Amino acid sequence: MKALDSFNPLAVFVYFMASAGIAMFSMDPVILLLSMLGAVTLFVIRREGRQTGTHLFSLFLFLTLTVINPLFQHNGRTVLFVLNDNPITLEALLYGADAAAMVVSVLYWFRSFSSIITSDKLLYLFGLLSPKPALMISMALRFVPLFRMQAKRTDMAQRALGKYKEDNAIDFIRMKLSVFSIMVSWALENGIITADSMAARGYGTGRRTCFSPYKFRPQDALLLGLSLMLAGAVGAAMALGGLEFAFYPTVSKISPDFLRLAAYIAYALLSFLPATIEIGDALKWQYLRSRI
């Protein structure tokens, strides 16, 4: 088991919302660089580096977003070259790289988030607010893989019956539409069966109670407290204008004042906090194994 999987979902949820939220609302290049490094490090540690396709896609997305911005945005004083009578400026290129770093880092944060916060943990989190929406969200999340598996079974059955004609595009499309029609009927029937089953079990006749295996322990309070404290420090610096950064008409210089440096240190600690937890847990596990 990974270390973060053992933490209370509330503490993990607050951490990811804090780290990803700061990256989404800040254009400071140092903050976004720290966010991307922390998110990628956590992703690699938890997936053990076996995600080459994910990294290649992220690199492609980063380069694409970086290049697209100067093609449509021509502000800035430093003209690199002219393309079809449109100036390609250094400021627009750097802004594109900055925005691309924000998108890529947030995607990495939520990849790790989805591997830690499973559907039962989401049910627990939303159940703290209201059990009924939590149940609806859980059922919707469960329905997606069921629909996919049933669609695959239906498609295979249609192929076994010889309904597909690979050399005829029109018949191929017609059979795909037939599979889709079958799936719509299956989804409606499955919804009716689920509703009848819930009614037979007395759903809605009284106050619901829910069982939760997640306890709030001191380590959860520590993670939650550190997340709120570090995120609050960075948020305060952003509110006071300490992390303001402009690309147009010229790129701002990063002044090493106390407020900005404090925000950088706080966000660096916040970004690498889960990776530190995972590495510490792995070292502890290796040490305990060596004592056997």
**Each residue's pLDDT tens digit, 43-67:** 988 875 567 888 889 999 999 999 9
284 and 272, same structural domain? yes
What value does the mean pLDDT take over residues 164-170? 70
Q: Phi first, then psi: give them for residue 47, nearest 5 degrees.
A: -95, 0
Q: pLDDT at position 230, please?
A: 94
**Distance in angstroms (rounded) separating the CA atoms of residues 57 and 50:** 14
Residue 105 in domain: yes
| pLDDT over 70 at 91, yes or no | yes
Is residue 245 one of the residues assigned to a domain?
yes
218 and 146 in a single domain? The answer is: no
Q: Does residue 24 lie within any of the structural domains?
A: yes
Task: Give the predicted TM-score (pTM) of the model.
Answer: 0.75
**Confidence class for position 266, pLDDT limits 50, 70, 90:** very high
Torsion angle defined by CA atoms of residues 144, 146, 149 and 155, in that order, rounded to the nearest 10 degrees: -90
Q: What is the pLDDT of residue 139?
A: 77
7 in a domain, yes or no?
A: yes
Across the chain, mean pLDDT equals 85
Considering its fold, how many domains does the chain have in total? Answer: 2
Tell me, yes or no, whether 181 and 237 share the same domain.
no
Residue 207 lies in a domain: no
CB 205 within 8 A of CB 235: no
Contact 47, 117 (CB under 8 A): no
Domain end residue (candidates: 200, 231, 256): 200
User: What's the confidence (pLDDT) of residue 1?
Assistant: 47
The whole-angstrom separation of Cα 252 and Cα 249 is: 9
**Are 82 and 136 within one domain?**
no
Query: Which residue type is seen at 264?
Result: Y
State yes or no: pLDDT of 172 exceeds 70.
yes
> Is the pLDDT score of 246 beyond 70?
yes
Residues 219 and 244 in one domain: yes
